[in-house]
Amino acid sequence: MSQTLTLILISLTAAITLLAVFRARRPRELGKSWHLPWNGILFLGLLCLLLLARHQLSLSGIDLPAR
């Protein structure tokens, strides 16, 4: 995966994560349930952002220590 594609995926994932933050913090209407689990989408978005950031650093030549 190239750096350009990684940066595009980071920006797309950040946009989806920000949408999930906005929708998760919004009060729900009385008597209606959530249709999508926005907190789960938020968690997955943050996880993907961390993984993509680490990938971008490794593409840039910055080696991070393993676990």
Residue-range domain boundaries for the chain: 8-26+34-67
Task: Give residue 32's pLDDT band: very low, low, confident or very high (50, 70, 90).
Answer: confident
pTM of this prediction?
A: 0.81
Q: How far is CA 13 from CA 4, 21, 30, 31, in A?
A: 14, 12, 30, 31
- Sequence-ordered list of residues with C-beta below 8 angstroms from that of 56, at least 6 positions apart, any chain: 3, 6, 7, 10
Q: How many residues does the chain have?
A: 67
With bands split at pLDDT 50, 70 and 90, how would you rate the model's confidence at 31? confident
